Structure 1
Amino acid sequence: MPIIATVLFLAGIGHGNPNANNRVWAAPDPNRPQPSESRSSYCEGRFPDGFLTGEGTCEFPSGNRYKGALRQGKPHGQGRFVWADGTYCEGDFQNGRLHGQAVCFMANGDRYEGEFRHGKRHGQGEIQFANGGRCQGEFANDRLNGEGVCQFTNGTRFEGHFVNGVPQGFGEYRFANGTICEGYFDDNLLDGRGVCTFPGGDRFIGNFVQGVPQGEGVYIAANGDRTRGIWRNGEFKPQNPPKEDSEEDADSEDDDNQEESPTAAMVELTGK
């Protein structure tokens, strides 16, 4: 029944919300403070030009440490920077900041491996969280921005487009209970045309507003029975009783069924 499907759908969305664990979307910044505090009194090594250029080891009053290549007193090249709280990063540095390939181990147990630009995660990378979750994909300005995949500890998985670490654009959620929803997401919620398939084989194809069925839709039971109508705030509203069937009405209904078939709906949704 459509009402049951709505309940199952809402339950699935609730359990799959990645914002329930903020650490999934915002890992600790491994670049604080910037290792540009290099001074000759804190570093030792061979510096032919007298300007802290070459291989060296630095220990700072803050408790931070650096070992690796330096250029004019700043980490530049391959090196390892360790913060006082236990966070450490090793990889490519440029002008005192991570720039290029690097791997960072945060004090809370999280791990990031991938590309950096000017001290921030930028490019292809992967975050592995201490709680077992992980996200990989395109990073920009320290967050997922572009295509990515996140796997959550409760078994839920999202694959699609991200903006500032949040699902935004076309994507697909696969929930731990077996529900699969795909369509356009706005701030992590289905918003627009979407398709949800439930564990028993039932499906809902229709319009969503902020994650809730709203507007025209069709509920297709596993046995092929269809219920079409209007959904308001996730609840099915029966349409007016149909007029007596006629040959013309039957032909029109056949045409409507063809237009609202799962294949046609998916074509409209995916653009394929």
Structure 2
Amino acid sequence: MGGGGKKGDDDEEKMTAEEEREARAAKRAAKRAAKSKKMESMDALSMAQAELGSVKSAKSPGKNSNQAQEDEDEMEDAMEEEAALEDKFGKKKGDEDRSKLGLCMDWIFETPKQPKKEWQTYRKEEIQEYLKEMRRGIFYYMPKFYDTVMFRKISRRKLHYWGEFDSAGARDGRGVCLWPDPPLGGGESYHGLWRNNQPNGHGLFRWYHGDMYLGEWNTGAMQGYGVYKYGPEGTFANDVYMGTYFNGLRQGTGVYKYAPKSEDVGGAVYMGEWLRGTMHGNGLLVYADGETYLGQWKLDKKDGFGQYIWGQNSGEVAGDKYLGEFRDGYTHGLGKTVFSDGGNHRGQYARGKMNGHGVLRVADGWEYTGQWKDDELHGEVVCFYSFGAGHGKEVQIYDEGNYVGSRAYDPSVDWGEIESVGMSEARNAEKAADEAASRIATVQRFGKRAKESQTMAKDGAEEARYMTSAALSYKEFLQNWYGIKHYIIAEEV
């Protein structure tokens, strides 16, 4: 009967856990439905601009600061929950309902209060600050020796694991693992679900240099939906990615937020497709000054057909728009640039500049048909005034933008050698611009899909926070149980 009663209790506990999981899933589904309804009337570009507003407000609070705070809280809540679970029993929620005897027993048998756990801190920064504070006395004059000694003293030197195991002794289920600090290890920590000694399920992983990932795992690799936040140092300092992973790399669709690097260099937001950790496929990139790209990507570079609009910080070209072909991150191939003053250029481009044949019409009505070299007129160019019949055609001669001279226009020669070639490339450039414009709808669609992946990634992070709390709760149970064994069971044995 006793065994049956215990099994019934286990089944009831299992059902309760299942009900909690279903409740969390239902809550997240409701939040997704509300967000989806709100996003129905928005295009992907508007969504990216809204995301960018949250990035900017993180640097200068104000516009869209609520969204910024929400995004920041979603990453920091996990650490707050973990810190709360590390408090001793006497301060935990629900203690007011416990007996004085129970609290007394907790106080007697609890493990000694430890400093803030390593996984709660930015390990490298913590050690450096500790060394600065403790650099005193005779060792002050031998900083290299002192730093080496103190680093060994305060760093982790062994792997520590608190959690569940399977019948073969492998880490399986809820668990907390702290790896040794450099040079003995990587200084990482993981809190969540395990299988066969590897992170598997939902969990939180922190790297020694401050990077953090909350989300889904599969056989030791980030896989599924998750949120990755970079640490405070390096090229990607404070950047955040929310989306899908496969085999440890960003793959599928997702949103990447570039944090502002300084007062002058604002943030940016990418929404779109990923392949093997790189922006690849269809996506849009929006900068803080309004600079925007919508189009195709290849290995983190603009490549294919797309539309580029220069931002406010671009100087003389601010507000200009290019539609056409890109290669290796540059305007390259055939395309059309519409200038902010009303003029336009249609023709060939190479490495980000006008190179080759084309047609240029400036705002005051003059039209030039010929060749360009690095954005400058070069060679013989047919020139005429398109707003009136009072000016005939003439051939002007340029040397890399420098005017050399002119001569009369000869239709029998100049039409075939100069004008027809330039106009043909201009027509091809118009076709390339039309192709780029037609692909914007596809880019918008993948941008929306990336936004949906972002929502799912936040859900994955929320589930990872829950599993992190469960792992830490179990760790605390084990620590207190080991304390009881130390005081009671060891003496009996």
- TM-score, normalising length from structure 1? 0.73
The answer for the alignment partner of 2:334 in structure 1 is: 193
3-state SS of paired residue (1:270): helix
The answer for the alignment partner of 1:112 in structure 2 is: 241
Per the alignment, do residues 260 and 202 of structure 1 end up closer, same or farther by CA in structure 2, a change over 3 Å counting? farther
Q: Distance in 1 between matches of 2:258 and 2:272?
A: 15
CA contact (8 A) 2:302 2:328 kept: yes
Give yes or no for the alignment of 1:234 onto 2:375: yes
Answer with 1 or 2: which has the greater Rg: 2
Q: Distance in 2 between matches of 1:69 and 1:84?
A: 20
The answer for the alignment partner of 1:36 in structure 2 is: none
Tell me the amino acid that sits aligned with residue 172 of structure 1: Q
Pairwise CA distance, 1:57: 1.2
- Structure that is richer in helix per residue: 2
Tell me the amino acid that sits aligned with residue 242 of structure 1: Y
Pairwise CA distance, 1:129: 1.4
CA contact (8 A) 2:171 2:194 kept: yes
Of 34, 47, 54, which residue of structure 1 is paired with 2:165? 47
The answer for the alignment partner of 1:58 in structure 2 is: 177
Structure 2 matches for 1:116-155, cutoff 5 A? Answer: 116-131=245-260, 132-155=267-290
The answer for the alignment partner of 2:430 in structure 1 is: 266
Tell me the amino acid that sits aligned with residue 184 of structure 1: E
Structure 2 matches for 1:209-248, cutoff 5 A? Answer: 209-222=350-363, 225-236=366-377, 237=379, 238-239=381-382, 240=395, 241-243=408-410
Give yes or no for the alignment of 1:85 onto 2:209: yes
- Structure that is richer in strand per residue: 1
Pairwise CA distance, 1:261: 11
Q: Which runs of 5+ in 1 are unaligned?
A: 1-39, 250-255
Per the alignment, do residues 104 and 86 of structure 1 end up closer, same or farther by CA in structure 2, a change over 3 Å counting? same
> Is 223-232 or 173-182 further displaced after alignment?
223-232
Q: Distance in 2 between matches of 1:234 and 1:88?
A: 45
Of 214, 219, 225, which residue of structure 2 is paired with 1:101? 225
Q: Distance in 2 between matches of 1:168 and 1:195?
A: 16
Q: Distance in 2 between matches of 1:41 and 1:163?
A: 40
3-state SS of paired residue (2:171): coil
Pairwise CA distance, 1:189: 1.6
Q: Distance in 2 between matches of 1:41 and 1:174?
A: 52
The answer for the alignment partner of 1:173 in structure 2 is: 308
- TM-score, normalising length from structure 2? 0.42
CA contact (8 A) 2:227 2:242 kept: yes
Pairwise CA distance, 1:41: 6.2
Pairwise CA distance, 1:233: 3.3
Which has the bigger relative contact order, CA under 8 A and spacing at least 6? 2
Q: Which runs of 5+ in 2 are unaligned?
A: 1-157, 182-186, 232-236, 261-266, 312-317, 383-394, 396-407, 439-493
Number of equivalent positions: 224
Cα deviations by residue, 1:194-231 (Å, 9 ceiling, x for unpaired): 10011111111111122222222112234655332222
3-state SS of paired residue (1:109): coil
CA contact (8 A) 2:324 2:429 kept: no
The answer for the alignment partner of 2:487 in structure 1 is: none
The answer for the alignment partner of 1:23 in structure 2 is: none
Q: Distance in 2 between matches of 1:207 and 1:65?
A: 53
Per the alignment, do residues 211 and 76 of structure 1 end up closer, same or farther by CA in structure 2, a change over 3 Å counting? same
Of 204, 219, 230, which residue of structure 1 is paired with 2:345? 204
